[in-house]
Amino acid sequence: MGSLKAEILVQGSDAEQLRGMLDDVFDQNRFRTAWSGARTGVAKKGNRAMNVLFGALAQYHEIGFELRPQGADRLAVRLQRQTSGFWGGLIGAANTKKRFRAVRDLLADHFEEHGILVEVTGD
């Protein structure tokens, strides 16, 4: 599938605070977050079954994320696209790629507004 990946590096080591920020940004953009541990989870938007049935007319997005320490005073938010969008054909695949990049940018903007963004790498 050629999965898209990105990493957002932030200043600070409070994983709980960062977790809350992630939840807020995903929630504001109508994603449902499910944490599978203290530092890993997935954000989902849309309905997978509807996407299979109706293709590009019913988008489904799933983005995995992980919080990883980067030294004593930084955390990295690693994002990975979990769905290709191919059930929606070429339009669905393009929309899924576009949505992944938009989410990466929304998170980076939010962190920058709070003065903790260090850098963004990857797709």
Q: For the chain, which residues make up each domain, given as ranges?
A: 5-117
Nearest to 69 by CA among 6, 12, 5, 4: 12
pLDDT higher at 54 or 114: 114
Q: What is the pLDDT of residue 98?
A: 85
Q: Are 61 and 98 in contact (CB under 8 A)?
A: no
Whole-number average pLDDT of the chain = 84
pLDDT tens figures, 48-100: 444 444 444 446 688 999 999 998 899 999 999 877 555 555 655 677 788 88
Task: Using CB atoms within 10 Å of the CB of residue 68, give its burial: 0 to 12 exposed, 13 to 18 middle, 19+ buried.
Answer: middle
* Averaged pLDDT, 18-44: 94
pLDDT higher at 11 or 13: 11
Given a cut of 80, is residue 7 above it in pLDDT? yes
Under CATH, domain 5-117 is a member of which superfamily?
Answer: Fungal kinase associated-1 domain (3.30.310.220)
Q: Are 27 and 104 in contact (CB under 8 A)?
A: no
Query: Whose structure tokens read 């969008």?
Result: 85
* Averaged pLDDT, 10-22: 94
Q: What is the pLDDT of residue 15?
A: 93
Given a cut of 70, is residue 8 above it in pLDDT? yes
CA atoms of 86 and 36, how far apart (whole Å)? 26
